[in-house]
Amino acid sequence: VFANPLRPAILAAARSATLKTAITKAPVTRSIVSRFIAGDTRAQALAVARAILDSGRMISIDYLGEDTTDAAQAQATVAEYLALLADLAEMPEAKAPGQVRRLEVSVKLSALGLALPVDGPAIARENARTLCAAAERAGVWITVDAEDHTTTDATLSLVRDLRADHPWLGAVLQSYLRRAEADCRDLAGPGSRIRLCKGAYREPDSVAFQPKSEVDASYLRCLRVLMEGRGYPMVATHDPAIIAEAGSMAADSGRGRGDLEHQMLYGIRDGEQLRLAGRGAQMRVYLPYGSQWYGYFMRRLAERPANLGFFLRSFLTR
Ligand code: FDA
């Protein structure tokens, strides 16, 4: 994650309104964005989802949007998720038997209103509750994404509350956070679904490990806690060393193929995704769509110097 020396600058740019306008308006950006994003519309996302499901993988669809500061936009996000859940309910996978749901949606609480100046947490909670009820009717799971560290407490407490009524609700933990291992211990209980990732935001040293080696070591410590726990670990990484280690940990803790899943982002290591699914592993693809792709796209550029180089070269060689 942190092997890229330009990462802090790119993540700062991810918050710049001026750059956002310049980059989103540049015609060349589109073709590169489409590597990571299924399309602007729900119909495009569902078509891509169909193909992924048919290839033996599972999906988690994300309607892009974050840092909403107006209540109407949060309501529009809820409406889009409800329409998405209604469409997913029509897929045969929604009715398939088994403990593991093949269809999932991912949501960011900041898109549901968490940061609204008045009553943000209460509004996000009610919106999330509405989505959980609809997901349950649809036969679809929900996992709540992890955003920057200032939202971690609010996010985990909201997930904990909603799990009283919707025990299948998942949460994401980020191994770059110094608190991650303790959070894993708290959340490794029966029925808990935890997606473990490294973390994609720019965080200060006071709360987050900075060197890649420390983030990776923390990931392995966290993963061991989850594997030895009683929940359902979701191993969200493209890192080959960690994926191999996850296999040995699962064997050590007596977990079968159905007791954990691998997850990767749409457009990243597609061949490896297919290889894992082909070997019988449960593999879920995180599939984002929508017009608010700027923040998500910039985090993908920041992760990998090669992505940034490719992006910049395409500007220069037009
Ligand atoms: P690492 O960055 O070390 O990469 C390992 C290898 O993967 C690289 O060598 C390369 O081959 C490949 N790779 C990684 N990123 C790439 C890229 N952008 N383009 C091309 N190749 C790439 N973060 C967060 O803060 N909150 C969240 O809620 C989520 N949710 C989430 C869900 C899922 C399903 C995944 C897979 C990831 C997330 N993330 C996330 C993102 C996560 O925190 C992290 O930033 C990325 O997954 C990249 O880290 P890796 O674990 O892949 O390792």
Pairing of strands 58-63, 103-107: parallel
Lowest mean pLDDT among 33-37, 123-127, 130-134, 160-164: 33-37
SS3 of 245, please? helix
Residues 187 and 169 sit within 8 Å (Cβ to Cβ): no
- The answer, yes or no, to whether any atom of ligand 1 lies below 6 A from the CB of 197, is yes
Q: Tell me how far apart the alpha carbons of residues 199 and 73 are, in angstroms, rounded to a whole number.
A: 26
CA of 108 to the centre of ligand 1 (A): 17
When computed from its CA atoms, the radius of gyration of the chain, rounded to whole angstroms, is: 19
What sign results for the dihedral spanned by CA atoms 95, 99, 103, 107?
A: positive
Check whether 179 has a pLDDT greater than 80: yes
Q: What is the largest CA-CA distance in the chain?
A: 55
Closest alpha carbon to 279 in 251, 247, 236: 247
Yes or no: say if 232 and 259 are a contact pair by the CB < 8 Å rule.
yes
For residue 120, the tally of other CB atoms under 10 A from its CB is 20
Residue nearest to atom 45 of ligand 1 (CA): 200
Decide whether any atom of ligand 1 lies within 6 Å of the 176 Cβ.
no
The domain made up of 38-292 is a member of CATH 3.20.20.220: yes
| 41/291 Cα distance (integer angstroms) | 8
How many helices and strands in the chain, by DSSP H and E? 13, 8
- Could you tell me if 207 and 177 are in contact, meaning their C-beta atoms sit under 8 angstroms apart? yes
pTM for the model: 0.95
Q: Whose CA is nearest to atom 32 of ligand 1?
A: 236
Tokens of 63: 């309607």
Residue 286 CB–ligand 1 contact under 6 Å: yes
Supply the residue whose CA is at minimum distance from atom 6 of ligand 1. Answer: 239
Beta strands in 160-282 (DSSP E): 170-174, 193-197, 232-236, 261-265
1 within ligand 1 shell (Cβ under 6 A): yes
CA of 306 to the centre of ligand 1 (A): 14
Angle between helices 120-138 and 152-163 (to 10 degrees): 40
Higher pLDDT pick, 266 / 6:
266
Buried b (16+ CB within 10 A) or exposed e, 77-90: bbebbeebbebbbe
Question: In the structure, what pLDDT confidence band is assigned to residue 86 with cuts at 50, 70 and 90?
Answer: very high
Q: Does 146 contact ligand 1 (Cβ within 6 A)?
A: yes
C-beta 202 within 6 A of ligand 1: no
The band of 315, judged by pLDDT with boundaries at 50, 70 and 90, is low
Ligand 1 centre and the CA of 285: distance in Å? 12
Q: Which residues are catalytic?
A: 145, 195
| pLDDT mean over 47-74 | 95
Summarised one tens digit per residue, pLDDT across range 96-137 is 888 899 999 999 999 999 999 999 999 999 999 999 999 999
Q: How many angstroms from the chain centroid is the CA of residue 106?
A: 6
Residue 238 CA, ligand 1 centroid: distance in Å: 6
- For the chain, list the strands marked E by DSSP: 58-63, 103-107, 141-144, 170-174, 193-197, 232-236, 261-265, 283-289
State the residue for tokens 């890649």: 212
CA of 56 to the centre of ligand 1 (A): 21
| Whole-angstrom distance, CA of residue 189 vs CA of residue 223 | 14
Query: Does ligand 1 come within 6 angstroms of the Cβ of 131?
Result: no
pLDDT greater at residue 44 or residue 314: 44
Tell me which of 52, 175, 238, 282 to substitute to probe ligand 1's pocket, judged by most ligand atoms within 8 Å of the beta carbon.
238
Query: In terms of Cα–Cα distance, which of 263, 184, 259 is closest to 225?
Result: 184
pLDDT, tens digit, for every residue of 289-305?
999 998 899 899 888 87
For residue 118, give both structure tokens: 């008045």
Return the percent helix, strand and coil in the chain, to nearest 5: 55, 15, 35
304 Cα to the center of ligand 1, angstroms: 9
